[in-house]
Amino acid sequence: MKDEIKTLKGEEVKEECSTLSGIPLKPFYTPADIACLDYMRDLGLPGQYPYTRGIHESMYLARLWTMRLFSGFGTAAQTNKRFRFLLEEGETGLSVAFDMPTIMGYDSDHPRARGEVGLCGVAIDSLEDMEILFQNIALDQVTTSMTINAPASVLFAMYLVVAEKRGIPFDKLHGTIQNDILKEYIAQKSFIFPPKPSLRLVTDIIAYSTRHVPKWNPVSVSGYHMREAGATAVQELAFTLADGFTYVEATMEAGLDIDEFAPRISFFFNSHSDFFEEIAKFRAARRIWAREMKERYKAKRPESVWLRFHTQTAGCTLTAQQPENNIVRVAFQALQAVLGGTQSLHTNSMDETFALPSEKAATLALRTQQIIAYETGVANTIDPLAGSYLVESLTNRMEEEANKHFQEIGQRGGMLRCIEEGYFQKEIIQSARRYQEALERKERIIVGLNKYEHPEEKVIIPTLKVDPSVEKEQIRRLKSLKARRDNRKVEESLGTLREASRGRENVMPYVLDCVRNYATLGEIINVWREVFGQYREPVMY
């Protein structure tokens, strides 16, 4: 084909092109590349099985995606101020970033929290902090996403009790708790307990939420962090859906019917830099999930087979060199997500290679979404790239490649066995190495990084700085809380949680009781450290 093009055009073309996942690309595509009959049958219409073109008939014609920014720094009061600012600027959903001590289940006064309190997110030690975090924010009128995993039960319980104390019924709450512990072992590494008890905590949240907080998404199955660690688009697609299948199976084993809980499972994907591959990934994900839920797990409700997903632009593509270029990168990545049919979107800020987003940078990131929504016209037509020979061919190919990974995972004994043996970790490390080597050889170009550099340029942009006094203030407030609360009730509720955790009961009601008594995050997590033990990743590579 290439020789033919050279003859017709009389010009040279690239010898080889491929997507970032390594899928070969042709110079052009024709109907022969999309297996016409099967393609026409599977493509269907928006809102129709297998939902390649979107899960809703009207998509953005009826309602735009939820616009979120990942926000959190310092104290709960500081983050509350940022939340209210962004809501005034047009953000339509909150997304909470927690600091590292909170993510790892430590209170701010723990020795391991020293120097990290409020630094990469907001510090939350107790119900009191959560009350301040959402002060003057109507929880029944906003959707809230919380990026927390190992301690997800505790943070979710805090949010519920805040609503409870305000008289807001749980069935009026909308939002998502990430609660995806499997990807922590694979990529992000903020695990605390071993995989099996951790999986039990995930399914306890799913079961409790299904019965008591019906509009809440109790798990957000996340490929984002795998991609940030170096996974390809194909690996992100396959490993994320495989995690999702594992949660489905574990929840069914816990006694729930598939159609009870499946409609509230959500997903979280990365939108990287390969424009058409990313769009194809989102479309393939919907189709794979719908087929597996219907054919393998026998789901009957249409909502049970929908793949609903949040997207975040790729933080790993942002550069410290020429940081203004990040504005352009984020705009294209956000556009990919919209063309791929996302339900929710977070745009990174241009300054995130240096620090947490400044107010100005966060506003610009939000404006990027608003310009796409209101000025480009892409929301005026559903799945506008449907029928593109390239996009449909890539969608089919992404599904084929993902199926190969599913077969490999099954042959190796399933997700937990693959995690324990380091299969995913090794696969991602190898992909990350190949990508880095391609950059070093300039086979892949990052503008401003390995081509069109300005090595003499000094980058000076205003960044957010977290005052070191935040840690002292947080510890002071924590000490005051412990002196004011009823410590006898705290110990009693922690003891009851300990006994329930040793058995097979759902732990969420007991976590809620601990939170109501102002037990701290660290105190609750320490109960589980005692009962479940702590996980130490084996040396495997």
Per-residue pLDDT of 374-389, as tens digits, reads: 999 999 999 999 999 9
With bands split at pLDDT 50, 70 and 90, how would you rate the model's confidence at 540? low
Q: Is the distance from CB of 297 to CB of 253 less than 8 angstroms?
A: no
Q: What is the mean pLDDT of residues 67-76?
A: 94
Hey, where are the domains in the chain? 36-63+138-380+388-440
pLDDT at 496 over 70: yes
Whole-number Å distance between alpha carbons of 529 and 494: 13
With bands split at pLDDT 50, 70 and 90, how would you rate the model's confidence at 12? low
pLDDT at 157 over 60: yes
Q: What is the mean pLDDT of residues 280-285?
A: 98
**Residue 120: both structure tokens together:** 């990469």
> CATH number for the 36-63+138-380+388-440 domain, one of 3.20.20.240, 3.40.50.10790, 3.40.50.2000, 3.40.50.10680?
3.20.20.240
Q: What percent of the chain has pLDDT over 90?
A: 90
**Per-residue pLDDT at 37:** 41
Per-residue pLDDT of 80-102, as tens digits, reads: 999 999 999 999 999 999 999 99
Q: What is the mean pLDDT of residues 466-491?
A: 97
pLDDT at 407 over 90: yes
DSSP H/E element including 217: strand 216-217
**Per-residue pLDDT at 40:** 47
Residue 407, SS3? helix
Number of neighbouring beta carbons within 10 Å of residue 405: 18
With bands split at pLDDT 50, 70 and 90, how would you rate the model's confidence at 10? low
364 exposed, middle or buried (CB, 10 Å; 0-12, 13-18, 19+)?
A: middle
With bands split at pLDDT 50, 70 and 90, how would you rate the model's confidence at 288? very high
**Residue 210: both structure tokens together:** 């299904």
Q: What is the mean pLDDT of the chain?
A: 94
Q: What is the mean pLDDT of residues 178-188?
A: 97
pLDDT at 211 over 50: yes
With bands split at pLDDT 50, 70 and 90, how would you rate the model's confidence at 15? low
pLDDT at 13 over 70: no
pLDDT at 5 over 60: no
Whole-number Å distance between alpha carbons of 203 and 250: 7
**Per-residue pLDDT at 494:** 98
Q: What is the mean pLDDT of residues 442-452?
A: 96
**Per-residue pLDDT at 124:** 98
DSSP H/E element including 222: strand 219-222
HEC sequence for 232-243: CHHHHHHHHHHH
Per-residue pLDDT of 348-376, as tens digits, reads: 999 999 999 999 999 999 999 999 999 99
Whole-number Å distance between alpha carbons of 39 and 390: 13
Q: Pick the closest to residue 341 from 382, 375, 288, 372 (CA basis).
A: 382
pLDDT at 74 over 90: yes
Q: What is the mean pLDDT of residues 397-407?
A: 97
Q: What percent of the chain has pLDDT over 70?
A: 95
Instruction: Classify residue 344 by its DSSP letter.
Output: E
- With tokens 């919380």, the residue in question is 146
Q: What is the mean pLDDT of residues 280-303?
A: 97
Q: What is the mean pLDDT of residues 262-267?
A: 98
**Backbone φ/ψ region at 383: left (φ over 0), alpha (ψ -120 to 50), beta:** left
pLDDT at 511 over 80: yes
Per-residue pLDDT of 95-121, as tens digits, reads: 999 999 999 999 999 999 999 999 999
16 HSE (CA, 13 A, CB side): 8
With bands split at pLDDT 50, 70 and 90, how would you rate the model's confidence at 141? very high
Q: What does the buried/exposed string (b/e) look like for 10-43 if buried means 16 or more CB atoms within 10 Å of the residue's CB? A: eeeeeeeeebbbebebeeebeeebbeeeebeebb
Whole-number Å distance between alpha carbons of 257 and 264: 13
Integer angstrom CA distances of residue 354 from 50, 358, 362, 460: 42, 10, 14, 10
Per-residue pLDDT of 23-43, as tens digits, reads: 999 998 988 887 644 544 568
**Per-residue pLDDT at 333:** 98
Q: Is the distance from CB of 54 to CB of 46 less than 8 angstroms?
A: yes
